[in-house]
A and B are shown apart, each in its own frame.
Chain A
Amino acid sequence: SAVISQKPSRDICQRGTSLTIQCQVDSQVTMMFWYRQQPGQSLTLIATANQGSEATYESGFVIDKFPISRPNLTFSTLTVSNMSPEDSSIYLCSVEETPTDTQYFGPGTRLTVL
């Protein structure tokens, strides 16, 4: 099974600033995803990070707010831009393992915006 690490594990940021979250996988994977989990809520998919092309965003999420990079098959970043307190959430990356169709999740990045 894939092992995923995220940096930072948590951060407290001021409104109006940006934070970049890193996701590192210990093996090459085709599919990587970024999710958001707001306090007390379930997970919501932000986007699919595509290697070598632009990310595919879900309804309600835009590239200007959540730019994503995927430079290779083991690494991705998510930036939360121009943050507001409403962006306070846990951000998780996940990868899809084939052919088992199982997703593995990172430990998450807990973001608090003041």
Chain B
Amino acid sequence: DAKTTQPNSMESNEEEPVHLPCNHSTISGTDYIHWYRQLPSQGPEYVIHGLTSNVNNRMASLAIAEDRKSSTLILHRATLRDAAVYYCILRDWGYNAGNMLTFGGGTRLMVKP
């Protein structure tokens, strides 16, 4: 699987937007970009995913660079509940031997009141 690189940690103020970057310079044409987050003492939860175009859902937005070598998860208004570890993961849509997720170190987001 192609590798992703994320900052170890970031800080944000409550009710401000947060931009979480992810570099994936070796991404292949069939890799989807997935984001999951893990709140304290919980299992990971799905946030969003995309292939080439920017994506929006009720939780966040995903901005994908034109060359697909980087992406940014955008939380429009951070709340204290958004404090979590955010994982950027590449998944090959053509991979049919288990569809496993390969977790890297992620970014620990801290939200200050």
Contact = CB atoms under 8 A, between A and B. Distances in A.
Contacts, number: 51
Interface in A78-108: 92, 94, 96, 101-108
A65 B12 CA distance: 42
A105 B99 contact: no
B101 A103 contact: yes
Nearest to B85: A42
Nearest to B106: A42
Nearest to A43: B103
A45 B101 contact: yes
Chain B interface residue count: which class?
20 to 34
Contacts of A45: 100-102
Nearest to B47: A102
Chain A interface residue count: which class?
20 to 34
Contacts of B100: 33, 45, 48, 58
B90 to A, nearest CB: 12
Contacts of A102: 46, 49
Contacts of A101: 32, 49, 91, 93, 99
Interface string B96-113: 011111111110000000
22 contacts: A4-B43, A31-B98, A33-B98, A33-B101, A42-B87, A42-B105, A43-B44, A45-B102, A56-B98, A58-B100, A94-B101, A101-B32, A101-B93, A101-B99, A102-B46, A103-B44, A103-B99, A104-B45, A105-B44, A105-B45, A107-B42, A107-B43
